[in-house]
Amino acid sequence: MRQALIAGNWKMHGDSQQIHQLLGELKPAVADAEADIAVIPPAVYIPLCDELLKGSNVVFGAQNVSEQREQGAFTGELAASMLKDCGCTYVLVGHSERRALYGENDALVAGKVAAALAAELKPILCVGESRAQREANETLEVVGQQVDVVLSTLADGHDQLTIAYEPVWAIGTGLTASPEQAQEVHAFIRSKLAAHSQALAEKVRILYGGSVKAANAKELFSQPDIDGGLVGGASLDAAEFAAICHSIG
């Protein structure tokens, strides 16, 4: 059985005071949750999360990482080794907002996944189709390509990878893929992993993301190939996020 993971992607939201309040409420509310739980704050708040989450069952990660493996003249970038040094467990890679707004392509995303793994950070590779691609019946082709580019660069044994299927049309829109729509893509991603290695397919967690909330989490998480969620907006509300964390099992 894969251990479920619920990760809260705060995106570019929050300040110190809000984070004190959010984590103050969240920690006791999820102390007995069965799932692994992570929050993904803006990078400048990583040290604050480290301080506030000590002794709790909630870990933290970063929203982005450089593909450069060595320190150097890369203004504005954060190396995977630095994120690891600051206590991060996870890092999001290739979120659709980074692909769409900051021009990240599959090759760059693959470089970031490899850099994260090399620093023993756990990458959460985000993949997903746009509305137009779904309407043109291209979902599996698009997602398959996004997954294949990364898998083709991975050496064996990189089962620390997590994949998040996030249909772009469902992110921040209130629209959610139906459990059946999501399961179809998750099973397809699992088959891609199996083509690489059966052990990878069994071990790698595949999260669903896109307007996950307490009201739809249980049904989504009950699908056989959905191993948890990547939660955006709803992760900024402690009670709502805690309810999602308790929707596993």
Q: Which residues are known to be catalytic?
A: 95, 166
Q: What is the dihedral of CA 106, 144, 212, 214, to 10 degrees?
A: -140
Q: Which two tokens stand for residue 199?
A: 């052990």
What is the number of the residue whose Cβ is closest to ligand PGA? Answer: 232
Closest alpha carbon to 43 in 7, 111, 90: 90
User: Which residues, in sequence order, are CB contacts of 15 under 8 Å at separation 6+?
Assistant: none
Kindly tell me which of 199 and 239 has the beta carbon lying closer to ligand PGA.
239
Under the criterion CB under 6 A, does residue 210 sit at the interface with ligand PGA?
Answer: yes
- Which of 162, 209, 214, 247 contacts ligand PGA by CB under 6 A? 209
Q: Tokens 């809000």 belong to which residue?
A: 18
Q: Tell me the closest approach of the beta carbon of residue 126 to ligand PGA, in angstroms.
A: 7
How many residues sit in the footprint of ligand PGA (CB under 6 A)? 13
The answer to whether 237 contacts ligand PGA (rule: CB under 6 A) is no
Residue 212, both tokens? 């996950």
Q: With CB under 6 A as the contact rule, which of the stretches 13-21, 131-139, 146-154, 207-215 interacts with ligand PGA?
A: 207-215
The maximal CA–CA distance of the chain, rounded, in angstroms, is: 48
Instruction: Answer whether 77's CB lies under 8 Å from 48's CB.
Output: no
143-150: list long-range contacts, CB under 8 Å, 24+ apart. Answer: 143/185, 143/188, 143/189, 144/188, 144/192, 145/106, 146/94, 146/106, 146/109, 147/189, 147/192, 147/193, 148/192, 149/106, 149/107, 149/109, 149/110, 150/106, 150/109, 150/110, 150/113, 150/125
Three-state DSSP class for residue 79: coil
The reply to whether 150 sits near ligand PGA by the rule CB under 6 A is no
Nearer to ligand PGA, 63 or 81 (CB): 63
Nearer to ligand PGA, 78 or 230 (CB): 230
Work out which of 6, 9, 124, 221 binds ligand PGA, going by CB under 6 A.
Answer: 9
Q: Using the rule CB under 6 A, give the single segment among 45-53, 54-62, 188-196, 204-212 that binds ligand PGA.
A: 204-212
Q: Does 63 bind ligand PGA (CB under 6 A)?
A: no
**Measured from the CB atom, is 80 or 214 closer to ligand PGA?**
214
**Closer residue to ligand PGA (CB): 117 or 230:** 230
Phi first, then psi: what are they for 203, rounded to 5°?
-95, -35
Q: Is residue 167 part of the contact set for ligand PGA (CB under 6 A)?
A: no
Q: Are 180 and 202 in contact (CB under 8 A)?
A: no
Q: Is 66 in the site for ligand PGA (CB under 6 A)?
A: no
Q: Which of 204, 230, 238, 248 binds ligand PGA (CB under 6 A)?
A: 230
The residue ranges that bind ligand PGA (CB under 6 A) are 9, 166, 171-172, 209-212, 230-234
